[in-house]
């Protein structure tokens, strides 16, 4: 089930690509009721998707890879979060994945990721890639400023 999320945005529609996962496609749809704005740009095997949700949450999703794929979710969180401990960032990652999973059936793979991370959260350390299962890795990190923070959640097929 975890494989679904990594594949959802890298589909090979023509069968002509030499890449195992094909070219990146959008994960989110602009018509989704909870999406206020959406922009997707792709060049070769790299793509950037920018989403603002109706509650104000901003997400930048960077996709890259050909035979090994990587999806980096950059969530912008308001406020000064510089003093927050590691478990705050891990728990927030889980909650944000659940939120994405609740967008609808097409996004249920996010709930699977959230559940898998939650069951293994004691193993996680910030900025370290951890295998959730063979071929599926997660890295959680953060960039903090006084006015906001960016939670960086990376899902990848390699460390």
Q: Which of 11-15, 88-92, 97-101, 141-145 has the lowest mean pLDDT?
A: 11-15
Pair 155, 113: CB distance under 8 Å: yes
**Interstrand relation of 46-53 and 35-43 (parallel, antiparallel or unpaired):** antiparallel
**66: containing domain:** 2-156
Residue owning tokens 């960032």: 89
Sheet holding 136-144, edge to edge: 35-43, 46-53, 58-65, 69-78, 148-156, 136-144, 130-133
Q: Which two tokens stand for residue 83?
A: 């003093």
Number of domains in the chain: 1
Cβ contacts of residue 61 below 8 Å, gap of 6+? 9, 27, 28, 48, 49, 50, 51, 71, 72, 73, 74
Residue owning tokens 């939650």: 118
pLDDT per position as a tens digit, 59-106: 999 999 888 999 999 999 999 999 999 999 999 999 999 999 999 999
User: How much of the chain, in percent, has pLDDT values that exceed 90?
Assistant: 81
Percent helix, strand and coil across the chain, each rounded to 5? 25, 40, 35
Cα separation values, 10 from 61, 64, 71, 94, 98, Å:
13, 9, 10, 23, 21
- Whether residue 42 has pLDDT greater than 70: yes
Q: What global pTM score does this model have? A: 0.89
């Amino acid at each position: 089930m975890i494989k679904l999320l990594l594949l959802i945005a890298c589909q090979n529609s023509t069968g002509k690509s030499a890449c195992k996962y094909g070219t990146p496609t959008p994960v989110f749809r602009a018509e989704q009721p909870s999406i206020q704005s959406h922009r997707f740009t792709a060049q070769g095997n790299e793509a950037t998707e920018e989403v603002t949700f109706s509650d104000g949450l901003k997400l930048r999703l960077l996709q890259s890879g050909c035979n090994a794929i990587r999806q980096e979710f950059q969530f912008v969180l308001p406020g000064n979060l510089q003093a927050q401990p590691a478990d705050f960032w891990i728990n927030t990652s889980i909650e944000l994945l659940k939120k994405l999973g609740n967008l609808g059936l097409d996004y249920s793979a996010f709930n699977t990721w959230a559940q898998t991370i939650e069951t293994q959260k004691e193993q996680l350390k910030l900025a370290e890639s951890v295998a959730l299962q063979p071929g599926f890795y997660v890295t959680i990190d953060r960039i903090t400023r006084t006015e906001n923070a960016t939670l960086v959640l990376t899902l990848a097929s390699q460390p």
